[in-house]
């Protein structure tokens, strides 16, 4: 998986400063210049870390952060605040941000925070079992269960199911799935996603259980109950 960072910042100079620096460090950086685009990209691009300015045109950073959390997206958020005002910091953390950085900042400071947030995410993701309907996925054993029935998964089947279970009730596009499971180089013409979805369904529905992995025609797939 590559490290994708979403930067939501309306000031082009700061956005470019962050983008250039992080790209130089090997990150894949995408930029949104307003809150609405930032929200779309947070849910659409599934970044690993979000750098979010508080002062944005339209929807401000605090609202963006709240909506990200309300949408059940657990992506670590680093807030950028213009001043070291305590109310701003508290509001940011209350809105669901994981950390904050006061402008102006040195790039090294930003990089250290981004690295820490990227690291912090991994253990959280790898430990707790994931639940959806009667389906359980245990990241420590990489086993799935439907009710009491154990389901053995291959490595790719597991990766695919985990991606859906971390984004329940959300339509994942084919591009998003390629990007997260196979990386960029795979190419969009292959039917490998269809093949793996078929494998997964046959295992998840072996005892005629209800369908959880649904096709959203022309778009992609979604884990949902109907």
Nearest distance, CB of residue 85 and Ca ion, angstroms? 15
Specify the stretch interacting with Ca ion by CB under 5 A; choose among 6-14, 66-74, 165-173, 179-187: 6-14
In angstroms, rounded to a whole number, what is the distance separating the alpha carbons of residues 103 and 113?
Answer: 14
In angstroms, rounded to a whole number, what is the distance separating the alpha carbons of residues 5 and 105?
Answer: 18
Distance of CA 4 to the CA centre of its chain: 9
Nearest distance, CB of residue 90 and Ca ion, angstroms? 19
Q: Between 33 and 171, whose beta carbon lies closer to Ca ion?
A: 33
Nearest distance, CB of residue 63 and Ca ion, angstroms? 14
Please list every residue from 8 through 67 that binds Ca ion, using CB under 5 A: 10, 53, 55
Among all residues, whose Cβ is closest to Ca ion? Answer: 55
Biggest CA–CA distance in the chain, Å, is: 59
Question: What token pair was written down for 69?
Answer: 């959390």
In 3D space, the residue among 120, 117, 101, 93 whose CA is nearest the CA of residue 9 turns out to be 101
In 3D space, the residue among 30, 98, 38 whose CA is nearest the CA of residue 64 turns out to be 38
When asked if residue 88 is in the footprint of Ca ion (CB under 5 A), the reply is no
Q: Between 55 and 101, whose beta carbon lies closer to Ca ion?
A: 55
- By CB under 5 A, the count of residues binding Ca ion is 3
Q: Between 10 and 157, whose beta carbon lies closer to Ca ion?
A: 10
In angstroms, rounded to a whole number, what is the distance separating the alpha carbons of residues 121 and 55?
Answer: 26
Nearest distance, CB of residue 60 and Ca ion, angstroms? 9
Residues near Ca ion, by CB under 5 A: 10, 53, 55
């Amino acid at each position: 998986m590559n490290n994708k960072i979403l930067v939501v910042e309306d000031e082009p100079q700061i956005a470019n400063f962050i983008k250039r620096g992080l790209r130089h460090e090997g990150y894949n950086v995408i930029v949104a210049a307003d809150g609405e685009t930032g929200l779309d990209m947070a849910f659409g691009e599934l970044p690993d870390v979000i750098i979010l300015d508080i002062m944005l045109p339209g929807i401000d950073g605090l609202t963006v952060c709240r909506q990200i959390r309300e949408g059940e997206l657990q992506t670590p958020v680093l807030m950028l605040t213009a001043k070291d005002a305590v109310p701003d910091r508290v509001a940011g953390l209350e809105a669901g941000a994981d950390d904050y950085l006061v402008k102006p900042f040195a790039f090294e400071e930003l990089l250290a925070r981004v690295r820490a947030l990227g690291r912090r995410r991994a253990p959280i993701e790898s430990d707790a079992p994931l639940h959806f309907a009667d389906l359980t996925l245990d990241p420590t054993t990489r086993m799935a269960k439907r009710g009491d029935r154990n389901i053995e998964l291959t490595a790719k089947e597991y990766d695919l199911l985990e991606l859906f279970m971390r984004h329940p009730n959300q339509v994942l596009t084919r591009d998003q799935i390629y990007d997260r499971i196979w990386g960029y180089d795979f190419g969009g013409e292959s039917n490998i996603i269809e093949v793996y979805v078929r494998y997964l369904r046959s295992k998840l529905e072996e005892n005629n259980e209800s369908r959880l992995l649904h096709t959203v025609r022309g778009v992609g797939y979604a884990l949902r109950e109907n």
